[in-house]
Structure 1
């Protein structure tokens, strides 16, 4: 496996370098420590490249995790994030690691980070947290599509599940629920109707994991009522997972599936680290070419049974 970590020598990129070092240790991966000097073709840029090369070596020297991995450095003139994207594509990078500033000094998510997660040919790990060690808690929201399957497979292939407790979360919406109270349906019957939908959601998720060959793992499966975007935002705020894994669908235009305002809000909040997983590249060993899987897995929708005296 090959990991590229982008650094600008700031404190948040130092976190990214350490996280990349831990991940490389866990998986035996090769690590490429990369810095991009803005501009090209001038004497000043050439001097800046030489200075950045010295600083890159110094940064690697103070990260103890890098002493035990195969770490190389790359300093190039160019533009962010294009230079990193080019390096990832041409060098067969499996995951890009980048730090994200947040808080009062960084009210919005950086353009570089957004550019990477929107266009990267591989998963992008955005590091928001301090790095005490390997991830212990990983949360993966799933919508039972190929995007979710790719996200779950990345958790396995990148070694993120080796030492972590993995929670798979599926959000479900109850058909017709908002109108039931207005029809005079008793509260206990509405609650029973919701629970029948919860059971259906759990069955669908079980069937999805089985169909994708992802059963038999010591993962926790959760179903939560609500719109997927609201459930993800609430989950991130309530549980503060160390790592949140988000799948994306489209490779053209803006990746809207689980990437959009919710993902950007989670990233900008600075709580969890976020792994954004795009679809496999055409021609890669993971490319299936399958369309998104429908949510139905052959289980009938529950019906509300109204009991009268």
Structure 2
């Protein structure tokens, strides 16, 4: 596995470097340690490039997770995130690793991370947590779409779910539920209505995993009622998940500027690391893309039956 990790030598990017070293050690892959020098004056940029090259080589020698890993330093002058995207494409990176942006700063590094994810040629891992070892608890939120299928395949191909406790979660909202109490429907019947929806979605999740040849995995399945972003954040906190794996949908035009409300919300919360798997580029032959993937069986939604006495 080829891992490109971007560093600005800050503590948050140090976490990304250590995580990249751990992942490379697990997979027997290599790390490209990259720093981008931004600036206007040619003389200043040249001086900063030389200094960054020295610091990058020094970083390789002091980070324990890089000691037994093939590691190359790459320092370029350019603009973020384009320089990282160009390097990842040219070197056929399997994974880009970046530190989670600091919040509340004058400059908005969060915007650069989001722009990187939107145009990335491969999955992007945003590191929030200190890296102490391989991921032990991984959560895979699924919305039963091709985006989630790509995320599942990516987690499997990168080895992120091999030795971890994995939870697959699907969030659902019940059609018309907020109005039922106002119509005088008893709570017991509403609860039964919700459980019927939960059961039908549980069948869809199992069929979805089966379509990806993942039904036999010893993964916990959770089907939770509520808004997707809230369900994911709350369950991740309760299960102490260290990594969330999420897919983004292909978009065009103005909608291409959006990652999707759920992914945006999860990235903004922080806490766990987040692996974001983008759609394959148009016309690209992606190893994670399987257009012929069979569709999951859609279970019939239960209807609410109001019984009068």
TM-score by length of 1: 0.91
Please provide the CA RMSD for this pair.
2.3
Q: CA deviation at 1:261?
A: 4.3
Query: Structure 2 CA distance, aligned partners of 1:188 and 1:232?
Result: 26
Q: Which runs of 5+ in 1 are unaligned?
A: none
Runs of 4+ in 1 over 6 A off after TM superposition: none
1:275 and 2:275 are equivalent in the alignment: yes
Q: Paired residue for 1:73?
A: 73
Q: Paired residue for 1:243?
A: 243
Contact 1:128 1:267 in 2 (8 A): no
| 273 and 106 in structure 1: CA distance in 2 versus 1, 3 angstrom threshold | farther
Contact 1:52 1:75 in 2 (8 A): yes
Query: Structure 2 CA distance, aligned partners of 1:262 and 1:208?
Result: 20
* Aligned length, in residue pairs: 306
Q: What do the CA deviations read for 1:68-91 (whole angstroms, capped 9, x no partner)?
A: 111111111111110000011111
Q: What do the CA deviations read for 1:263-309 (whole angstroms, capped 9, x no partner)?
A: 3343333311111101233222333346996xx72422112222333
Contact 2:168 2:222 in 1 (8 A): yes
Structure 1 range deviating more: 123-132 or 107-116: 107-116
Contact 2:248 2:263 in 1 (8 A): no
Query: Structure 1 CA distance, aligned partners of 2:106 and 2:231?
Result: 25
**Corresponding residue SS for 1:110:** helix
Q: What do the CA deviations read for 1:124-167 (whole angstroms, capped 9, x no partner)?
A: 00001111111111111110000000001111111111221111
Q: Paired residue for 1:89?
A: 89
Query: Structure 1 CA distance, aligned partners of 2:111 and 2:305?
Result: 52
Query: Structure 1 CA distance, aligned partners of 2:90 and 2:239?
Result: 38
Q: Which runs of 5+ in 2 are unaligned?
A: none
Q: CA deviation at 1:106?
A: 7.8
Q: CA deviation at 1:188?
A: 0.9
Q: Paired residue for 1:185?
A: 185
| 152 and 81 in structure 1: CA distance in 2 versus 1, 3 angstrom threshold | same
